[in-house]
Structure 1
Amino acid sequence: MNLPGAIGWLSHPALQVALLLLLALILFTFRWRRPGLVAACVAVAWLWVSSTPAFALWMQDGLQNAYVSRDAAAYPTADAIVILGGGTLPRGGLDWREDEARAQATRLGFGLELFRHARAETILLSGGDQALKMAHRLEEQGVPSTAVLTEDESINTHENAVNSAALLKKENLHSILLVTAGIHMPRALASFAHEGIVVIPAPPVDRSLIDSPPWWPKRKALTLTARCLREYVGMWGYRLRGWV
C-alpha cells in the first residue's frame, strides 16, 4: 500500500477505534488498568460520536458549504467541463432522463447536464480507473466522441490536476467547470488552480443527507465522517507537498 492509501486507512474512525482498543488490551495485559480504561472509553466515545449524523453532517458542511450545487443552466459558460472519476456512475444502457434526479446526483450525470445546457463544448474525463468507462457511458447518451477528451493515467487528485491541465493547455482551454463531490471540491479546486487553470466549482446535487435522529449512531454517518476526515488529512498533505 502506498503512503496516501495508508493515510486514508488511518483516517477512518473504525481503524482508529480498533487501534485504541488494541492499546487498551496491551495496557490491561501489563496491569496498567487506569490508562487502559481511559483508552477503551475514548475508543467507545469516538466510535459513537463519529457515527452520529450530527457530527458527520457538521464535518461535511465544513468542506462543502462554499460549493452549493445549482441547476446546470445557472452556471456560466467555460472552455471545458472536467469530470473527475471516483464516484458512482449512472447505469449504462438506459436514457438517464428516465431517472433524471438520480443521474444528476452523480458526477457524470451532472457533467452531462452541464453539456446539454451548452455550458461548454468540451468534456474532459479524468481518472485512471473510470475515464474510459465514463466516455463509453456518455457515448451511450448521445455525446459525440469529438467533444470528449480522456485522461486515464491519474491515480489521485494531484495527478488529475497535473495531467488534465496539460491536456487542457494543449487544446487552448483555460477555464473549466469542475465536477466532483462537494466534500472533495476544496482539494480538487485548489489542485487545478495550482496548475494555472481557472476553476468554476460545479458539484452535483448532494444526496448524502442522513434522515435519522442526530445523535443516534448510523453506519452511513460513520462512512461520511471517514470520507470527510480523509479530505481534511488529504488537504493537509497536499499543502505540505506544495501541490495546492
Structure 2
Amino acid sequence: MFFVAAKIFWALFQPSNLAAILAAGGLITLIIWRRLGLTLLAASAMLLITFGVLPTGQWLIAPLEARFARPSDDAIKTAAGLIVLGGTEQPGMMRSRGEPSLGFEAARLGGAAALAHRLSDKPVIYTGGYREPGGISQADVARDFLLGVGIAKKRLILEDQSQDTAENAIYTQKILGQRADKPWLLVTSAFHLPRAVGAFHRAGMTVIPYPVAYRSSGNGVNVWNFDVAENLRISDLAMHEWIGLAAYYMSGRSATLFPAP
C-alpha cells in the first residue's frame, strides 16, 4: 500500500510533472475560466523557472550528497562484502535489445562494480525487485552487467523481491541471516544514502555507507547551466529524497529524520 501510494503521489507532485499538469490545466481552463487558467499557467511558469532555470536542484541535492563521505581504506577492508541498491536498471530495454541497459543512475552500478573488484573475493549483494511484464527483472539486468564487467558468478547474491528502499533493507537482512550482524558496504547514489542508511539501520543491519554517482560539485559552487531538462531532473531527485526522508521517518521505516554518520 505504501509503495503504490508513494508512486501515485510522486507522479503528481514531482516538480517537472507538476509544472506540466498546471500548464495543461491552465490551457484547458482558459476556455471556460480565464482568470483561473492564467493563474495555473503562471504557477507552471514559476515552477519551471524555480526548478528548471535556477540552480535550485543543486542547492537541494548538495546537503544530501554531503551527508556521508567515502569510507577509509581500512574501513573498506573490514567489510564482509558489499550491498548495491537497484534503481538504474531498465528491464524493458534489456528485453527488447538483448543486452543490459542502465538509466540515469548508471554510475551506481558502475561504482559498485569498481568497488567489487577492489574487494576481490567478498560477496556482492544486489537488491532490487522491479520486474517487467515480460519477466525480466532489475536483478536480471544487474546480474548480466556485473558478470559482463568481470565479477565472478559465485560472488553474486541477487535479491529480486523488494520494491523500494525499505524493502531492500528488509529482504537483504533476511537473506544474510546471522551474517547481517557484520558490517557491509552499502553502495548507492550519494543523494540516496541518507534514506538508505536509515532503512538498513531500522532493519537491524550495520552498514558502511559508500556514496557513488554524485550530482553536485561538492565545492560550494552551484553551476547555473541553463540546461532545463537536467536541472529539472536533479530537482526531481532531490525533492523525492527530502520527501522520502520525511515519509520514512513518519511511517517508522527510519528511526531518524536525517540519518547521520
| TM-score of the two chains, using structure 2 as the length reference | 0.74
1:142 aligns with 150
Q: How does 1:169-184 map to 2 (within 5 A)?
A: 169-171=177-179, 174-184=182-192
Residue 190 of structure 1 and its aligned partner are, at CA, apart by 0.6
Please give the residue correspondences for 1:36-115 in structure 2 after superposition, counting only pairs within 5 Å.
Answer: 37-52=38-53, 54-69=55-70, 75-87=76-88, 106-115=107-116
Residues 17 and 136 (structure 1), Cα distance of their counterparts in 2 relative to 1, 3 Å cut: closer
- TM-superposed CA distance for 1:27, in Å, is 7.7
Distance in 1, matches of 2:84 and 2:126, equals 5
Shift of 1:184: 1.2
Distance 1:127 1:19 in 2: 30
Mapping for residues 187-198 of structure 1, pairs under 5 Å:
187-198=195-206
The answer as to whether partners of 1:11 and 1:229 remain within 8 angstroms in 2 is no
Residue in 1 that maps onto 2:238: 228
1:18 matched residue in structure 2: 20
Look up the SS of the partner of 2:119 in the other structure.
coil
**Could you say which residue in structure 2 is the equivalent of 1:241?**
251
Equivalent in the alignment of 2:259: none
Letter in 2 for 1:163: Y
Relative to structure 1, the CA distance from residue 218 to residue 71 in structure 2 (aligned partners, 3 Å threshold; closer, same or farther) is farther
Match of 1:8 in 2: 10
Q: Is the 8 A contact 1:72 1:113 kept in 2?
A: no
Of residues 217-226 and 168-177 in structure 1, the stretch that sits farther from structure 2 once superposed is 168-177
Q: Per the alignment, do residues 166 and 179 of structure 1 end up closer, same or farther by CA in structure 2, a change over 3 Å counting?
A: same
- How far residue 77 of structure 1 moved from its aligned partner, in angstroms, is 2.7
* Inter-CA distance 223–40: structure 2 relative to 1 (3 Å threshold): same
What is the CA–CA distance in structure 2 between the aligned matches of 1:120 and 1:198, rounded to whole Å?
A: 20
Give the deviation of 1:120 after TM superposition.
Answer: 7.2
Aligned equivalents of 2:181 and 2:81: distance in 1? 7
CA distance in 2, matches of 1:132, 1:105: 15
Q: Which amino acid is 1:160 matched to?
A: N
Aligned residues: 231
Deviations 1:109-145 (A, max 9, x none): 2222222222871111100132232223223333332
Output the aligned Cα RMSD.
3.4
Instruction: Give SS of 2:212's match.
Output: coil
State how far apart, in whole Å, the 2-side matches of 1:228 and 1:40 are: 24
- Secondary structure of the 2:214 match is coil
1:65 Cα deviation after fit? 1.2
- Separation in 1 of the partners of 2:193 and 2:83? 12
Mapped contact 1:13–1:226 kept (Cα < 8 A): yes
The 1-side partners of 2:121 and 2:196 are apart by: 19
Secondary structure of the corresponding residue to residue 220 of structure 1? helix
| 3-state DSSP of counterpart to 1:150 | strand
Following the alignment from structure 1 to structure 2, what is the Cα–Cα distance between the partners of residues 182 and 171? 25
The question of whether the paired residues in 2 share the 8 Å contact of 1:50 and 1:222 is answered with: yes
Q: Secondary structure at the match of 1:159?
A: helix
TM-score, normalised via structure 1 length: 0.79
